[in-house]
Structure formats: structure tokens, C-alpha cells
A and B are shown apart, each in its own frame.
Chain A
């Protein structure tokens, strides 16, 4: 079966523009996660969705970041008024549930803010 897919694979934008990053999780996975990986840094948790529960947004770095998950499947991470420090690889993962299950990662979206 297909794994987690993300689009676009690369995105170059100008400072101040808004960007949308998309994640298609594995079919049937109820949990979906977003992480950020900056050059030389570890993965930084941003947000996760579990079924119909309210998302855990505790990792979002500022109110410029938001995410939604429609129909319990596809998710979009939106960054408004991008800044150069937002440049990073944004990784999405999904799992069958959230109780310590394996997380399956997508290939990531490489965002460069000029």
C-alpha cells in the first residue's frame, strides 16, 4: 500500500508570503502528526490530530502556524507571513492510533524562505 505522501516536495517562497503544505496519511490511520526539522537540529513536534478529538497544538511555535485535518484524512499545515527562520523540512507522520504506535513518516517538504 501507499505510504505517507507530502506535497510539494520543495517550496521556495519570499518572506512575508503564506504557504500551505499538504499531507496524505496512510489510509485507515487515525493519528496524524506534523514535525519540523531544521538544519542540524532534531525533529521538533508541532501538532497532532487523533480521530475527532481536539488537536494537540502545543508545539506550534507561533500563531502564524496553523493546521487542519479534513474528513479525518488529509491535513494541511499553513504558515502565514513566512520568516526566514521558518526554513526547514516539514515532516508529516501517521499512525494507527496514538498509544505509542509506530509513526510512519512521509518524505517531507523542504521549505526555503528567502
Chain B
């Protein structure tokens, strides 16, 4: 069955360090992968999208990589700040080139950045 695993439920780091979150998947051939941020009591907010033919995307302090051979995405937040503390969700879409809009989400990683 399809499975998406995010490396850990919780990640604690010091302010200024780089946070690295991992998303691994099995039995899935995504056309694209997205990362979302979710704060308590709020809906997820889109951060980055990377397509199957792309290796890396950057946006300000955020970087995402996508390795379809390893079936893994890494999400990096550089120069982390306490305001980056939130739950981060990876989501896969377009499995096998079909159901293009349907997203399958991982369980999320709770990131806490300590001052």
C-alpha cells in the first residue's frame, strides 16, 4: 500500500541552525511534491512545489530537493527562527500521472526552534 513517512514526529533545533526535514514514500509515483506549513488551529499554508523532473527548488530561506530514485524529499530551513516553529507537511500528487489534483499527505513533523 502507499506510504508516506516524515522522518520524525518532532524536531528541536537552536535558532540560527538549519532544520532538515525528510519525507520518504513507497508505492507511489508522484508527478509533484509539495510542502505545507500548519500552525495550531489553522489550515495548512503552501510553501514550495517541486515537480518530478526537478531536483531542487529554493525560496528565500527554504530549499527542497526531490530524488525520485531514492523516493525522498528533503526540506531545509536555513537560519531558522522561533517563528518557523510549526508542523510541516509533505504532500504528493499526480500518482502515476493520474488523479492530478489529489494530494496524499504525510503525518507531519513538528518543528520547534529554540531561542
Docked-complex contact B43 and A105, CB < 8 angstroms: yes
User: A98's contact among B44, B46, B49, B101, by CB below 8 Å, is which?
Assistant: B101
- Contact present for B89 and A102 (CB under 8 Å): no
Which residue of A41, A44, A99, A105 contacts B101 across the interface (Cβ within 8 Å)? A99
Question: Closest approach, in angstroms, between the C-beta of B13 and any C-beta of chain A?
Answer: 22
Number of interface residues of B (CB under 8 A): 26
B64-109 interface with A by 8 A CB criterion: 89, 91, 93-94, 99-108
Please, how many residues of chain A have a CB less than 8 angstroms from a CB on the other chain?
28
Query: How far is A103 from B99 in the complex, measured between Cα atoms in Å?
Result: 15
Task: Judge whether B31 and A103 touch: CB under 8 Å.
Answer: no
Known pairs A42-B108, A56-B99, A105-B45; A100 contacts B89 (CB<8 A) = no
A91 to chain B, nearest CB (A): 5
- Going nearest first, the 3 A-B pairs with the smallest beta carbon separation are A98-B101, A105-B43, A43-B105
15 contacts between A and B (CB under 8 A): A31-B101, A43-B105, A44-B105, A45-B104, A48-B102, A98-B100, A98-B101, A99-B101, A100-B34, A100-B94, A105-B45, A106-B43, A107-B41, A107-B42, A108-B42
